[in-house]
Chain A
Amino acid sequence: MSSLEGRTAIVTGAGQGVGEGIARTLAARGANVVIAARRAETGEPIAASIRDGGGVAVCIPTDVTRRADVEACVESAVDRFGALEIVVHNAFSGAAPHRLEELDLDRHWTPMSRTGVWAVLYCGQAAWPHLRAAGSRGRFVLVTSPSGIEGSVNIPLYSAVKAAERGIAKSLAREWGPSGVTVNCLAPVAASPALAGAFAGNPGLRAAIEARTPLGRVGDPVHDVGTVAAFLAGDDSGYVTGQTIVCDGGSFVGL
C-alpha cells in the first residue's frame, strides 16, 4: 500500500462512522487530514485523537450544504498545509424510509439532495483548482452505496441520490482525466451511528444483513472501508477512474 505522506486530504462527514474510519486510515497512512464535520463537538475529538496517535489532523467545522462553508474549508486546508491532493465526500444525512406514492419532499428529499448531490457540486468546484494543480496525485472520492446501484424498496430517494453520485463520478472521471485527477466511488456497508439506529429500530435487521452477506458480518469503518478509501486516495489506484468499488462483504454481486 502506497504512503500518503505529505498529502492533504479533506474528509467530509468525518465526525463519526464511515467518515471517521476513512479519516483515521488516511491519517495512519501519513496524510494531513482535515476533519470536515458539521459540528466541532463531533469533529474536534476525532482530530485530537488522531493527533494523540501521532497523526496530523485538524477539524474545520463545515456544513457541506453551504457553498461558502465548503470554499472556506478548502482554502483553510490549503493555507494550513500548502496544497490539497485528496477530497473524500462522505457527509450525508436524511435517509428515512418512505413510499414513493406518499412522499414528504422536505423530509425525504431535500436533506439527502443537499448533502449528497449539492455538496458534491460545492466540494468538486472548490477543490478543482487544487486537485488540478496536484495532477496525477489528485483524487476525488465519493462515498455512495450499493443501493445506488440496485435501488431500494425502503428508501427509493436515497438510492436515487446515491446513484446520482455515481453518474457524477463517471462524468468527472472523463472530464478531469486529462489532468491526471481520478474520480471514483466507494460503496460501503459498515458500522455507523445511522446503521446502529436502524438496528435499534429493527431488532432483526442485523441478522438479516449478516445472513445475506457472504462474509457474514457488517464492515468495519477503519479496517474494511478506510483501507479501500486509502487505496483510492493513493498512487496504487492511479489508473483507476470512473469506478465504483462496492465494499459490502459481497452482499451485492451484480454488475
Chain B
Amino acid sequence: MRGTMVDTEQIGDGVVIRPRFDPVARPFESLTDDQWHEAWERPVLDTVAALQQAHREGVRRIVVVVPVTSMSGGSQYVHVAAPAEAIRVLVKSAARQWGAAGVTVNAVAIAPARVLDDPGAAGPVSIAPAPLDSADPAAVIGFLCSEAAGDITGQTVTVDGGAWM
C-alpha cells in the first residue's frame, strides 16, 4: 500500500496539512494516465482525508500549505496547479462548512522554489529582495494556528517574498 501524499503537523492548537506535489516539470502532452492519477487524484483525496481527520479530532485551527503555482499556474506544471488550486478552494469550502462550529481553515501559499524542481517555469517573476526559497512561511502558519487568528477563515495568505501578487 502506498503512503499518503500529505504530511501533517500539530502546531499549537492547530494542524498544518502539507500536500506533496510532483516536483518534476512535465510537458502537458507527455502526461500519462498513471502520472495524472498520482499527481491529481492522490494529493487532493489525501488532503480531504487529512481534513476529515482533523475535524474528527476536534481541531479548531487548520492550515493547508500549497505552492503559489495554484494561483499563478506554471508552464509544464499543469499536474501541480490542478491539485493545488483544487485544494486551495477546498479550504474555502471547508471554512464555509465548519465555520459555525468555530473551526477555521486557511491556506498558506508558498514560493514554488520551496516545492518544485523548476520554479522558473512555475510562473511568478521574482521581485523579492532575497532568494525566493528564503521566504519562510513558519511565522504566518504559526499565527493562523493561534487563537488570535480566530476571525480569519477561508483565506489564502501568500508568503513568497512578493513574487506573485
Interface residue ranges, A against B (CB under 8 Å): 67, 99-101, 103, 105, 109, 113, 117-118, 121, 124-125, 128, 148-153, 155-157, 159-176, 242
Contact A173 B73 (CB under 8 A): yes
Q: Which residue of A lies closest to B94 (CB)?
A: A100
Q: Does B78 contact A (CB under 8 A)?
A: yes
Give the residue of A155, A164, A175, A176 whose beta carbon is less than 8 angstroms from that of B40: A164
- With A100-B97, A175-B78 in contact, do A164 and B83 touch (Cβ < 8 Å)? yes
Chain A interface: which of B5-13, B41-49, B127-135, B136-144?
A: B41-49
Interface residue ranges, B against A (CB under 8 Å): 27-29, 31, 33, 36, 40-41, 44-45, 48, 51-52, 55-56, 69-78, 80-98, 123, 154
Contact B52 A124 (CB under 8 A): no
B-chain residues with CB within 8 Å of residue A151 when the two chains form the complex: 89-93, 95-96, 154
Most buried by B among A67, A125, A148, A168: A168
Contact A163 B73 (CB under 8 A): no
Contact B82 A167 (CB under 8 A): yes
A-chain residues with CB within 8 Å of residue B52 when the two chains form the complex: 100-101, 103
Most buried by B among A150, A165, A170: A170
Contact A159 B27 (CB under 8 A): no
* Total residue contacts A-B, CB cutoff 8 A: 126
- With A101-B55, A172-B78, A174-B73 in contact, do A167 and B90 touch (Cβ < 8 Å)? no
Bound CA–CA A214/B154 (angstroms):
24
Give the residue of B40, B75, B89 whose beta carbon is less than 8 angstroms from that of A148: B89
Contact B55 A156 (CB under 8 A): no
Contact B29 A128 (CB under 8 A): yes
Bound CA–CA A117/B28 (angstroms):
13
Bound CA–CA A124/B94 (angstroms):
30
The 28 sampled A-B contact pairs (Cβ below 8 Å) are: A100-B93, A105-B45, A118-B36, A121-B31, A124-B28, A128-B29, A151-B89, A151-B92, A151-B154, A153-B93, A153-B96, A156-B94, A159-B89, A160-B44, A160-B86, A160-B87, A163-B90, A164-B44, A164-B86, A170-B71, A170-B81, A171-B81, A172-B73, A173-B73, A174-B73, A174-B74, A175-B75, A176-B28
If A170-B72, A175-B78, A176-B28 are given as contacts, then 17 extra A-B residue pairs at C-beta distance below 8 Å, sorted by A number, are A67-B33, A103-B48, A103-B52, A118-B40, A125-B29, A125-B31, A149-B89, A151-B90, A151-B95, A164-B83, A168-B81, A170-B73, A171-B73, A171-B78, A172-B28, A174-B75, A174-B123
